[in-house]
Structure 1
Amino acid sequence: MKQLDEYLTFPPSPAQSVSPSVNRYQARQALVLAGLFDRVQPLIDGIQDPTERMLTQVAWNDAPNFKRDDPFLVKIAVALNLTDADLDALFTTAASL
């Protein structure tokens, strides 16, 4: 089985920039390749506040694009123990798909 770093494109050099937005298809593919996709729904299900849980679920299911600085996305990244560099690598990978 491949290791996570075999799927992720490492953060860009300073001359390049991380894509600020990727579409849902790209984002979800990058999460699958990183072995993280199946961890997202349980995190959403575990949100205690019902309104916040519903809003997060709607974002996860219906947002056509995922923005790198979206508060929903940042919360999920923190819950997945991703660093900023990890999230940048996911966005870089997603943008390449």
Structure 2
Amino acid sequence: MIRKHIFAHGRVQGVGFRFTVTAIAQTYNITGWVRNLYDGTVEMEAQGLEHRMELFLQELSSGRPGRNGFIRIDKLDITDVPPVNVADEKGFRSVY
């Protein structure tokens, strides 16, 4: 199990990005959370099996994640963080 802390830069607010990230995470059985930040970026933490995380990150890095043409990701800042207990985190959700 691995966990990533991610900041997404680009056109990621007001375009359904959090909804899209949640749907992609559910597809790959990734747990965690996503939220908008006041500076226009989106922050998230994602946890899952290494090969599923790789697929999740590939989808986020694609030109049109979730086939949403309104989203534009200019840069993803990704760092490794310690995993959390899977019993403490169910699913993937937006936080406010």
Q: Same fold (TM over 0.5)?
A: no
Greater helix fraction, Structure 1 or Structure 2: 1
Q: TM-score, normalised by structure 1?
A: 0.30
Q: TM-score, normalised by structure 2?
A: 0.30
Greater strand fraction, Structure 1 or Structure 2: 2
Structure number with greater Rg is: 1
